[in-house]
Amino acid sequence: MVVSKVDKYLDEHNIFWFKINRPEKRNAIDYDVMSELCEAISFVSRNEKIRAFFITGEGTKSFCSGGDLSIFHALHTKEEAYEMLSRMGETLYSLCTLPVPTYAIINGTAIGGGCEIAAACDVRIAYSDSKMGFVQGNLGITTGWGGASMLMEKVTHPHAVMMLNSTKVYTAKEAKELGFVQRVISEEQLPLLHEEVKASSKVLRSYKQAIIMKWKQSQLKQRMLAEIEQCSILWEMEEHHQAVRSFLEGKK
């Protein structure tokens, strides 16, 4: 039996849930998940009854571990890397500018690209035992999906620099102190998250337009693509390929 890599559904509160369902891969992103996320964003954008978009991962161990290196390590050149990175970057910009409020429900570890997905959302709510960090520097690359540009829109400049440059993995409490996480909850509080969005769809979408206008004026998309270009240059360097080989060999 083929198990779907994502679960998508609209709940009784007209909140659309997108759950990455690859727990055996720590809910890593591959091309199939990319496509599913893009389709879900398009669906929510068109359906005016939907009041919010929640993204999470299957289980309680991992929200998302970023890109699936067992697949993406086959990309060697700048051009190959840019094709994949820009595809996901465009998707995350669409998530960032989705006309409804977006919430990352961080239900476990969120590292690398997982943190970039979280940064694309308006609000980040984390389980108390979750951990998160922009660890891309450990692989000889920068954020590859536009995450740094989005992070700098969500936290103060000094805190963004700290999170990016240190490659540190933070606890949920520490991430809240930095302003990256807005609420820390227990798993038992998950059914109550619909209370975060009590207003009508029209009101919620009107509020979201205000911030979308700001991001368009500040050319967020162009900044993200420039960031992705820089990552693709580093991607083809031997430092990155050696770091990925060491990582994959360490998992065997």
Across 130-245, where does the E strand assignment appear?
A: 131-133, 170-171, 183-185
Pick the CATH number of 6-190 from 3.90.226.10, 3.40.50.1000, 3.40.50.300, 3.40.30.10: 3.90.226.10
Residue 248: is its pLDDT beyond 90? Answer: no
Query: How big is the chain by its Cα radius of gyration, in Å?
Result: 17
- Name the token pair of 229: 């270009």
Q: SS3 for 53?
A: strand
What pLDDT score does 1 carry?
62
149-159 pLDDT, tens digit per residue, is 999 999 999 99
pTM of the entire predicted model: 0.97
Residues composing the chain: 252
Beta carbons of 201 and 98 less than 8 angstroms apart: no
Residue with tokens 């992070």: 151
188-207 pLDDT, tens digit per residue, is 999 999 999 999 999 999 99
Q: What is the band of 252 on the pLDDT scale with cuts at 50, 70, 90?
A: low
- Name the token pair of 247: 């990582």
Q: Which amino acid is at 17?
A: W
How far is the C-alpha of 178 from the C-alpha of 101, rounded, in Å? 21
